[in-house]
Chain A
């Protein structure tokens, strides 16, 4: 490390156990003053635990945390911690029912006496201006979009005077341009001397904004290195414990005369997309790309019946399911992975077996009864097929890590051997190996003769597609066959080259 001075933040041989599981095992991190330091690792590597220890939300069983060489404040001293470290958590800590201004000054609306709302809004505007956040202080925070809420969290975090912020997967829910704006902001903060710890599953982001990187694996510290001295494949190897290349799409040629299994004709939904035609043939994977406002998610949700289009027709397997009715779409032979697995993907308290067999429960018994033995057998097969890491089919899905929970959602989508498959952002927030299993499952389904639509914010995921349909502001603007270049696709997605 070039810094000879004391590091801004240091965690020394920290161990933390939760019951029988060891979340951190003699692990540590050293972050130099003013650097942007990446923390990477697969799901369950101990990143979240380290965050809660560095922010004083949890006390380590062993080890210590130092800020600029001095020991961290006592756990009860929340204000002391807040002056040292700010954190933008993965889970939003914005209160949707309160205004922007009040969220910024939560629990410190006034030093003493009654709150002066006018001056509170003025203070909020000053703070927002200071960090260049263009949001009306009087709005309800619940009306903001994800990016604005995140900026709000960053501004609030910094307003306590901390010079060290932790950004826990800030890019997970942002689209391309928003991520770039976040990175610009991070660079600006760095030039002001702010130290940052950045957590992300997207390694290219690590190379883009970070100077150094620490890898955790299985609750242990594996390595710390300058980003420039660590090639991509070595980083992946450190994370997975083996040399693993990026996902290799399988060679496959779609049959141009195969049966059409999923199609959309002149679909329009006000504010989301207009006049979209789409045809997916059996054995084909069609990618849907575009920025967050392109309408690709809305289109995919219409195909599966989560939303109803204003006009136009969806056809699945020759059937015309009732618009906005998921049940009739499933009956027509569709399987899907929704955008937000926590919201629509699984029921956290139910077991893997129940979650994965939900759409086929009627086939696992007679007269509405569900045979536990059949269900268990079916679930065990799914667990094996998708390599779900679990203690067994009866484990509740809520206890699984993100990647494994997503595999359960994928298993549910594939449960009924669908002829049409719609998969929305299957790899968001999952690690490298889970990503491979999930994309592999989509390819398997296509090889079995299903037609698939893959919506993804990640270009690498779209490599498995036979063709990629690019949307911009609600319209299909381009279609590219397999073998496209990143730059070509990005240009169309951002509307730079919309010919």
Chain B
């Protein structure tokens, strides 16, 4: 051996062949940028598949339809993605989707329509609905941050409690005869597109900008990545996580509001079972369950992928009895693919 490599001071990491860390600088950066767009090809492929299966697929009406069907889910995914990035968990979102509008509606509609009989002014309905979402998020935060309970178990408990509350005070009945204001958001069209798509788009843009370009948004990543380091850097970690839970609850309530408007009533099972799809979309979209990793844009792509798959299965005439099993199977395969392509599964 002729080389006498005693790395000189000032060139850290200059020692050749440091084991396992042979990836060079610039390509990694570029890859990291592309990771955000990883699902875009999948979305394009699904569009092509859809178009081949059924020419009506690419029609504006169908695509608008796909988007609108996904708005409620995508708001939940937005909420869950933020909570996951902060390194926490919220399973109770799906029950908030039912309870928040149910309370908002129940307090303002007459007892004859299964209301609570309070007959508050109809204008209070929507504010109450959204406030309930915030309160639920705040309560989750209280249990998790102040009482230091595991987010998983707290929100699992809340999932059951909130659903039970809704069934309890509605007697398991559908709420109908909704005030006009409740129906509006789920049905209105602004500039030729359903209002819910606009709302959802604005929420995502606001989220992407906040999480990408503002100190408070970035602190969510810092907390999820290493909470001690975030605290040492002066981030008020508890306050930020608490706020994230409250925003999460608010978004879930908004999602419930849109769903209520679209369906015209609040059923006792509204939102039931959505949380699995929410997690699947977030994880397929590259959000890590370990916290600190993922983007809202990625999560949105995850929602679109699932929405397109769902639509294609329906268009392809898969029988209603089988659609659930196939849909679930595709989600599992997509999760495996996401894991393998993220490169973390190997090594």
Q: What are the 3 closest A-B residue pairs judged by CB atoms, nearest first?
A: A95-B225, A93-B229, A114-B213
> What are the residues of chain A within 8 A of B292 when measuring CB–CB?
95-98
Tell me the minimal C-beta distance from B223 to chain A in angstroms: 9
- Beta-carbon contact of A138 and B1 below 8 Å: no
Q: What separation, in Å, do the CA atoms of A133 and B16 have in the docked complex?
A: 17
Q: Cβ of A291 and Cβ of B15 under 8 Å apart?
A: yes
Measured CB to CB, the residues of B under 8 A from A are 1, 3-7, 9-23, 25-26, 28-29, 32, 209, 212-215, 218-219, 221-222, 224-226, 228-230, 232-235, 288, 292-293
Return the CB mask of A473-499 against B: 1 if under 8 Å, else 0.
Answer: 110010000000000000000111010
B12 — which chain A residues lie within 8 A by C-beta? 133-135, 147-148, 151, 178, 181
From A89, A91, A97, give the contact of B293 (CB < 8 A): A97
- For residue A98, which residues in chain B have a CB less than 8 angstroms away from its CB? 218, 221-222, 225, 292
Given contacts A95-B225, A106-B230, A271-B19, contact A114 B13 (CB under 8 A): no
B17 near A185: Cβ-Cβ < 8 Å: no
Cα A140 to Cα B293 in complex, Å, equals 11
**Distance between Cα atoms of A276 and B243 in the complex (Å):** 56
> Which residues of chain A are near B233, meaning CB under 8 Å?
93, 106-108
In the bound complex, residues from chain B placing their C-beta under 8 Å from that of A78 are: 234
A295 touches B (CB below 8 Å): yes
Chain B proximity of A275: nearest CB distance (Å) = 14
- Digit string of A164-193 for contact with B (CB within 8 Å is 1, else 0)? 000000000000011011001100000000
Asked if B15 and A293 make an inter-chain contact with CB atoms under 8 angstroms apart, the answer reads yes
Q: Give the residues in chain B near A133, CB-CB below 8 Å.
A: 12
Report 28 cross-chain contacts, Cβ distance below 8 Å, ordered by A residue.
Answer: A92-B229, A93-B229, A93-B232, A93-B233, A95-B221, A95-B225, A98-B218, A98-B221, A98-B225, A107-B234, A114-B213, A115-B212, A134-B10, A134-B14, A135-B12, A136-B29, A138-B25, A139-B28, A139-B29, A145-B21, A177-B7, A178-B15, A181-B12, A271-B19, A293-B19, A297-B19, A472-B1, A495-B6
Most A-side CB within 10 Å, residue of B20, B29, B233: B233
- Asked if A143 and B232 make an inter-chain contact with CB atoms under 8 angstroms apart, the answer reads no
Name the contact of A271 in the complex, choosing from B1, B20, B26 (C-beta under 8 A).
Answer: B20
Q: Which chain A residue has the least Cβ–Cβ distance from B23?
A: A143
Interface residues of A (CB under 8 A from B): 57, 78-79, 82, 89, 91-98, 102, 106-110, 114-115, 117, 132-136, 138-140, 143-145, 147-148, 151, 177-178, 180-181, 184-185, 271-272, 291-293, 295, 297-298, 472-474, 477, 494-496, 498
**A145 smallest CB distance to B (angstroms):** 5
Please tell me if the beta carbons of B293 and A498 are within 8 angstroms of each other in the complex. Answer: no
Q: Report the Cα distance A89→B229, complex, angstroms.
A: 10
- How many pairs of residues, A versus B, come closer than 8 Å at their CB atoms? 145
Report chain A residues within 8 Å CB of B26. Answer: 136, 138
Q: Which residues of B contact A271 (CB under 8 A)?
A: 17, 19-20, 22
- Pairwise interchain contact A110-B215, C-beta atoms closer than 8 A: yes
Q: Check B229–A95 contact: CB distance below 8 A.
A: yes
Residues of A within 8 Å of B19, CB to CB, are 271-272, 293, 295, 297-298
**Interface pair A109/B13, CB less than 8 Å apart:** no
Give the residue name and chain of the B residue nearest to A297 (CB). Answer: B19
Chain A residues near B219: list those with CB within 8 A.
107
Residues of B close to A295: CB separation below 8 A:
19
Considering the chains assembled together, what is the distance between the CA atoms of A178 and B10 in angstroms?
A: 10
> By the criterion CB–CB under 8 Å, are A293 and B13 in contact?
no
A106 with B7: CB separation less than 8 A: no
Q: Is B225 a contact partner of A96 (Cβ separation < 8 A)?
A: yes
Q: Are B28 and A143 in contact (CB under 8 A)?
A: yes
Question: In the assembled complex, how far is the CB of residue B31 from the closest CB belonging to chain A, in whole angstroms?
Answer: 10
What's the least CB distance linking A353 to chain B, in Å?
A: 27
- CB of B21, distance to nearest CB on chain A (Å): 5
Closest-by-CB residue of A relative to B22 is A271
B113 → A minimal CB distance (Å): 47
- Docked pose: A151 CA to B14 CA in angstroms: 13
Contact call B21/A143, Cβ cutoff below 8 A: yes
Contact A138 B29 (CB under 8 A): yes
Q: How far is the CB of A324 from chain B (nearest CB, A)?
A: 12
Which A residue's beta carbon lies closest to that of B226? A95
Q: Are A93 and B29 in contact (CB under 8 A)?
A: no
CB distance from A148 to the nearest CB of B (A): 5
Q: Name the one of A92, A139, A473 contacting B16, with C-beta atoms under 8 angstroms.
A: A473
Chain B nearest CB: distance from A190 CB in Å? 14
Measured CA separation A496–B7 after assembly (Å): 11
| Residue pair A177, B6 in contact (C-beta under 8 Å) | yes
Residues of B within 8 A of A106 (CB): 218, 222, 229-230, 233, 235
* Whole-angstrom CA separation of A414 from B153 in the bound complex: 39
The answer to whether A495 touches B222 (Cβ under 8 A) is: no
Query: Which residues of chain B come closer than 8 Å to A114, judged between CB atoms?
Result: 209, 213-214
In contact, A115 and B28 (Cβ under 8 angstroms)? no
Do B17 and A79 have beta carbons less than 8 Å apart? no
How far is B218's CA from A110's CA once the two chains are assembled, in angstroms? 11
**Contact B215–A292 (Cβ < 8 Å):** no
Chain A residues within 8 Å of B4, by CB? 495-496
B150 to chain A, nearest CB (A): 15
A107 to B214, CA, bound (A): 10
Residue of A nearest to B31 (CB): A140
Chain A residues near B32 (CB-CB < 8 A): 140
Contact B28 A177 (CB under 8 A): no
**Which of B10, B12, B26, B219 is packed against the most chain A CB atoms within 10 Å?**
B12
Query: Do B215 and A473 have beta carbons less than 8 Å apart?
Result: no
Q: Which residues of B contact A91 (CB under 8 A)?
A: 228
Name A95's contact: one of B212, B230, B288 (CB within 8 Å).
Answer: B230
Q: A143 CA to B293 CA in the complex, in Å?
A: 14
Question: Once the chains are docked, how many angstroms separate the CA of A473 from the CA of B224?
Answer: 37
| Nearest neighbor of A185 in chain B, beta-carbon distance | B9
Chain A residues in 8 Å Cβ range of B225: 95-98
In the complex, which of the residues A94, A132, A181, A472 contacts B7, with contact meaning CB atoms closer than 8 Å? A181
B253–chain A nearest beta-carbon distance, Å: 28
Specify which chain A residues have a CB less than 8 angstroms from the CB of B14 in the assembled complex: 134
Would B1 and A498 count as touching, CB distance under 8 A? yes
Contact: A107 with B215, CB < 8 Å? yes
Contact B17 A134 (CB under 8 A): no
Could you say which residues of chain A place their CB within 8 Å of the CB of B214? 110, 114-115
| A493, chain B: closest CB distance, angstroms | 10
Complex alpha-carbon distance, A51 and B12, angstroms? 27
**Chain B residues closer than 8 Å to A97, beta-carbon distance:** 221, 224-225, 288, 292-293
Q: Which residues of A contact B10 (CB under 8 A)?
A: 132, 134, 181, 184
Q: Which residues of B contact A115 (CB under 8 A)?
A: 212-215, 218
Considering only CB atoms, which chain A residue lies closest to B29 in the complex?
A138
Assembled-state Cα–Cα distance A145/B23 (Å): 11
Select from chain B the residue with minimum beta-carbon distance to A295.
Answer: B19
> Which A residues lie within 8 Å of B18 (CB)?
145, 292-293
Contact B222 A145 (CB under 8 A): no
